[in-house]
Amino acid sequence: MGNIISVLFVDDEPNVLTSIKRMLRFKRNEWDIEFAESGEEALDLFDKKIFDVVVSDIRMPGMDGAELLTRLKDEYPGVIRIALSGQVGLSEVVRSIRAVHQYISKPCDAETLVTKIESALKSREILTDPAMQRLVTEIDALPVIPSVFKSIEDELRKEEPSISKIANLISKDVGLVAKILKLINSPYFGLPSNIKSISQAISLLGLETIKTLILGTHLFSMYDEKALPKLSLSLLWEHSFRVSNIARLIAEKENLDKNTIIQVRMAGLLHDVGKLILAYSFPEKYSQVLDKIRETKDPINRCELSVFGTTHAQIGAYLMGLWGMSGEVVHGIGYHHSYDKCDLSIPMIVSVADMIDHQCVIINPDYGRIVIDESVLPPSSNAKLEEWISHISLHWQGITDFNVLDSDVIEHLRK
């Protein structure tokens, strides 16, 4: 395959395919592009070669896009699957959601189409192991905390469920948050791209849609803590929410623009989603990671690398890239343990926020404290750290004993 990316477009309307071919003429030296006018023709082409990306219409006669993409997910799980479709019904979204990585609305200009495809492919730069790429590409659902999911089910089944209560419950589980964010990209919903919160997303989606998606689609599986008792999903998500807020406060203190603050908050919230993927997919091997942490006191990403050949940061970034998260959020997730520049970028801020929280709250006494990388701090780093921690302490009291840990945090971060 080399550096040439193979992309297959599937649509029953020849005029649509002709338009795409014309739009993407400038990519002919970079992409190997083929076209199919039906699901059956697309499968025939796959018998001859495997494509990197498939972009399919949803509404087609005979084998529709939902069935085609589901077949491809089962038979060729490593393929990036994108739905390019106009207005479709909720039932069609429900049928396709487990097989689709991203949705793109029709009509679509060349820039949007290329950006979506290249953003999904760019995630491979973070996760380079082909076996792990195939694993992540197969993932269609994320495990959730059973108690949170049951509370949502109970609320949705009431005669007059509360949007704010459901939003608050969903916000307690990162797996639910990630999936709702993916759903926002569906052209069926037609929601704006600058959603600022889960509450806003749920309000715009509406309760009936939320009820159908959560209760009727089996998009979520229950996380069995007995399979890996050494890992508490609740504590992991509490850490993610704290990192999200710490990152937001640092960004606000540095007077970054509103969009960056939204992105940094989302990257902080999702920065550890890869731990869930590894722990759920490989509980026995992840138990080895936790044992290695206890024995060596090495950072978790180093122990994951020795066991899996990759880390939760890389795994999480790849999945979120496939699901259509912005490149800034994906890089914030993928490099939160390895960023080495002081540039107030999203990866840098998430890295610092993660380190600060690990100093303030001991999630697991077996974990060694993470030492900050001096390269992500400005020259007057002591003063800047004090400034950030003071601002966090004044504006958000969610971290245990933050006020009495200021000097201790800085001392440990710089050891």
Residues 242 and 207 both lie in one domain:
no
| Helix (H) and strand (E) counts in the chain | 21, 7
Helix (H, G, I), strand (E, B) or coil at 283: helix
CB atoms within 10 A of CB 164: 10
From CA 39, how far away is CA 12, in angstroms rounded?
A: 9
Distances (CA, A) of 64 to 40, 69, 83, 131, 271: 10, 9, 11, 29, 35
The residue out of 170, 196, 222 marking a domain boundary is 222
CB atoms within 10 A of CB 112: 12
Let me know: does 62 contact 39? Beta carbons within 8 Å.
Answer: yes
Please report the pLDDT score of residue 219 as a whole number.
Answer: 57
**Phi, psi at residue 220, to the nearest 5°?**
-125, 140
Widest distance between CA atoms in the chain: 68
Residues 252 and 277 both lie in one domain:
yes
From CA 102, how far away is CA 33, in angstroms rounded?
A: 19
Tell which residue, 99, 126, 144, 97, has the closest CA to residue 280.
144
Whether the pLDDT of residue 404 is over 50: the answer is no
Q: Per residue in 308-345, pLDDT tens?
A: 999 999 999 999 888 888 888 899 999 998 888 888 99
Residues 195 and 251 both lie in one domain:
no
Residues 236 and 280 both lie in one domain:
yes
Which amino acid makes up residue 91? S
Q: Per residue in 244-295, pLDDT tens?
A: 999 999 999 999 998 899 889 889 989 999 998 888 888 889 999 999 988 9
Answer whether residue 33 is part of any domain. Answer: yes
Q: Per residue in 220-246, pLDDT tens?
A: 666 777 777 777 888 888 888 889 999
Answer whether residue 260 is part of any domain. Answer: yes
**19 membership: H or E segment, kind and range:** helix 14-23
- Overall pTM surpassing 0.85 (yes/no): no
Residues 23 and 95 both lie in one domain:
yes
pLDDT (mean) for 12-20: 94
The residue out of 222, 245, 277 marking a domain boundary is 222
Domain total in the chain:
3
Q: Which residue has the tokens 């979520």?
A: 220
User: First vs last Cα of the chain: how many Å apart?
Assistant: 46
Residues 164 and 263 both lie in one domain:
no
Burial class of residue 66, CB neighbours in 10 A (0-12, 13-18, 19+): buried
Helix (H, G, I), strand (E, B) or coil at 32: strand
Q: Which of 116-125, 316-325, 406-415 has the lowest mean pLDDT?
A: 406-415
Beta strands in 211-344 (DSSP E): 221-222
From CA 340, how far away is CA 82, in angstroms rounded?
A: 33
Residues 169 and 212 both lie in one domain:
yes
| CA-CA-CA-CA torsion sign (396, 399, 401, 403) | negative
Residues 274 and 370 both lie in one domain:
yes
Answer whether residue 10 is part of any domain. Answer: yes
Please report the pLDDT score of residue 24 as a whole number.
Answer: 94
The band of 401, judged by pLDDT with boundaries at 50, 70 and 90, is very low
The residue out of 198, 222, 246 marking a domain boundary is 222
If one compares 114 and 221, the residue with the highest pLDDT of the two is 114
Q: What is the DSSP string of 151-218?
A: HHHHHHTSSS--HHHHHHHHTT-HHHHHHHHHHHT-TTT---S----HHHHHHHH-HHHHHHHHHHS-
Please report the pLDDT score of residue 318 as a whole number.
Answer: 92
What's the CATH number where 20 sits? 3.40.50.2300
Residues 305 and 347 both lie in one domain:
yes
Residues 208 and 283 both lie in one domain:
no
Let me know: does 180 contact 170? Beta carbons within 8 Å.
Answer: yes
Answer whether residue 139 is part of any domain. Answer: no
Residues 46 and 177 both lie in one domain:
no
Whether the pLDDT of residue 214 is over 90: the answer is no
Answer whether residue 133 is part of any domain. Answer: no
Answer whether residue 138 is part of any domain. Answer: no
Helices (H), 31-109: 39-48, 65-75, 90-96
What's the CATH number where 364 sits? 1.10.3210.10
CB atoms within 10 A of CB 332: 32
Residues 208 and 235 both lie in one domain:
no
Whether the pLDDT of residue 165 is over 50: the answer is yes
pLDDT (mean) for 383-403: 71
Answer whether residue 140 is part of any domain. Answer: no
Length of the chain: 415
Answer whether residue 43 is part of any domain. Answer: yes
Domain encompassing residue 322: 229-413
Helix (H, G, I), strand (E, B) or coil at 221: strand
Average pLDDT, the chain: 83
What percent of the chain is predicted at pLDDT more than 90?
A: 33
